[in-house]
Chains A and B, each alone.
Chain A
Amino acid sequence: MGEVKKHETPLMDDLKSGPWPSFVDDIYNYAEKKKKQACFDIMGQMELSYKNRETHWKHGGIVGVFGYGGGVIGRYSDQQEMFPSIWAFHTVRVNQPAAKWYHSSALRKLCDMWDHRGSGIVNFHGSTGDIILLGTVTEQLEYIFYDLGHQLKMDLGGSGSNLRTPECCMGMSRCEWSCIDTQDIIYELTMAFQDELHRPAFPYKFKIKVSGCPNDCVAAIARSDFSVIGTWRDKIKIDQDAVRAYVGGELKPNAGAHSDRDWGPFDIKKEVIDLCPTKCMFWDEGQKKLYINDAECNRCMHCINVMPEALWPGDDRGAVILMGAKAPILDGAQLSTVIIPFMKLEPPYDNLKNLLYKVWDYWMEHGKNRERLGETIQRIGLNRFIVDVLGLKPLPQHVKEPRSNPYIFWKEEEVEGGWTRDVAEFRKRHPA
């Protein structure tokens, strides 16, 4: 290993002075230990970017691994003379296991591989969910791909106009609120859609995320074109003794999560009943009994989060399917919209797969270049998307609130006499 060239980085060094452990420390410690030129160069280039207030990365290119049209993102420094070891600094996306459970030996192997074949810098995890391996050269890509597949049994994730790596919350692996088996669903979809994941198929990116309950820990509603969120159709299950134990102070609200400060005695009216967004709860102080009008409940999870030992999601479980979330490139950020208020989800999830195929078939044909699904829906109208594209019936759950998205229009065949009926005749009987 030859001499390494270090750079002066006063602006980077300043970041070490904050209260939290700094990535600057991490990268420099590693760089010193392994004598990695790329890590010194990356700090040098970042210093330059802080100074000039502009990026020195160029992106785009033809790099990839054989047979795949995604998973590797070409990155190049525009300061090749100053930072030669990062002239190519490609990103590799690795498909994370569902809910991100690892055996430590797998992580060790992954780190050893990356130590050897890349910069050693990683990001657990990128916002799509993948493990992000930051920085390698073109010649290493096929070896990395081989090691991942053959030694680690890991695969590349999605990038570009592909299906992006599907992601889920920890679901039933740790969370009693999960109404669906999020990990199984993600595994099934990932295996079923290998072609879409590895080869460009779409006008733009497409993300699928699955949360087990409306707490939506992976923010599916905000971050995925196709959001699956666990919910239930029947009533919230109530253990009245446990409710009384919360009111009497024997059980800690929110499982003690806010016990770092004294918030005074638990007040069920103030902390639960009054905060129910649909005002469908009632605490009878005389009877010491909690009532819920489940027909009005919108499954926000608030009461369940506050009194987890007294309340649970019901037993008739499934998921709500929402579509169209995106970040603000065009028209501002947008949350997903309810398309199917309730769907039972059992392996092998054919109903879910068929719905996805239907959406993709339409979007592949009619979506414009770089148009996210949410923008396509906006362009043609939610009405047409639900009725004409998906062949579904409009439902009250599609309406956010009266008059904010009134999209239900009559078609000619639904109106007696159509558009051409004799209005004069009509007006004889009904003067305007």
Chain B
Amino acid sequence: MDKEALKQKIMEVFQKKAGGAGKSKIYLKDLQREIPDANPRDIKNAANELVKEGKLEYFSTGSTVMYGLPGVGMGLEAGMEKPEE
């Protein structure tokens, strides 16, 4: 699968999951499960490129990292938005 096609597939997975009651943040492993015919390293590279392009964003607890669509679901944890001055 070429890189652009893979990126396209990854975005489809996110749109599918984000719509309805799905999860807004997912792990690399979840992407691998959804796209079994692609190599995990290629998926990782494609997902990281999508972040650079601004189409995905990282969500990290410090110990692990998930990926999400910008602006969908929790940005910061609920209640973490900066208080009004």
Report A's interface with B, CB cutoff 8 A. Answer: 58-62, 64, 66-67, 69-70, 73-74, 76, 78, 80-81, 84, 87-88, 91, 159-162, 199-205, 361, 364-365, 367-370
Contact = CB atoms under 8 A, between A and B. Distances in A.
A91 B59 CA distance: 15
**Closest 7 pairs between A and B when the two form their complex, measured CB to CB:** A160-B65, A200-B65, A73-B62, A364-B40, A60-B61, A160-B60, A199-B48
Contact of B27 (A69, A84, A205, A369): A369
Contacts of B28: 161, 200-203
A61 B44 contact: no
Interface string B47-63: 01001100001111111
B9 to A, nearest CB: 17
21 contacts: A59-B62, A60-B61, A60-B77, A61-B77, A61-B80, A62-B57, A62-B75, A69-B58, A70-B65, A87-B82, A88-B82, A160-B60, A160-B61, A160-B63, A160-B64, A199-B51, A200-B44, A203-B28, A204-B64, A364-B41, A365-B32
B79 interface: yes
A64 B51 CA distance: 12
A350 B79 CA distance: 48
Contacts of A80: 83
A78 B79 contact: yes
Given A84-B83, A199-B48, A60 B60 contact: yes
A64 B63 contact: no
Interface of B: 27-30, 32, 40-41, 44, 48, 51-52, 57-65, 68, 75-77, 79-80, 82-83
A200 B48 contact: yes
B84 to A, nearest CB: 11
Contacts of B27: 161, 203, 369
A161 B75 CA distance: 19
A61 B76 contact: yes
A361 B59 contact: no
B62 A76 contact: no
A162 B58 CA distance: 12
Majority-rule SS of A interface residues: loop
B85 to A, nearest CB: 10
Nearest to B62: A73
A67 B45 CA distance: 12
A201 B44 contact: yes
Main SS at interface, chain B:
mixed
B44 A364 contact: yes
A61 B60 CA distance: 6
Contacts of A61: 59-60, 75-77, 80
B2 to A, nearest CB: 20
A203 B82 CA distance: 31
Contacts of A369: 27, 29-30, 64
Contacts of A74: 60, 62, 76
Contact of A69 (B41, B48, B61, B63): B48
A324 to B, nearest CB: 18
Nearest to A78: B79
B77 A91 contact: no
Contact of B59 (A60, A81, A368): A60
Contacts of B75: 61-62
Contacts of A202: 28
B63 to A, nearest CB: 7
Contact of A203 (B29, B61, B68): B29
A59 B59 CA distance: 11
A160 B62 contact: yes
Nearest to A205: B63
Nearest to B67: A200
B64 A161 contact: yes
A60 B77 CA distance: 7
Nearest to B39: A365
A216 to B, nearest CB: 25
A202 B48 CA distance: 12
A159 B60 CA distance: 9
B77 A87 contact: no
Contacts of B58: 62, 64, 69, 160, 200
Which of A59, A160, A202 has the most B CB atoms < 10 Å from its CB? A160
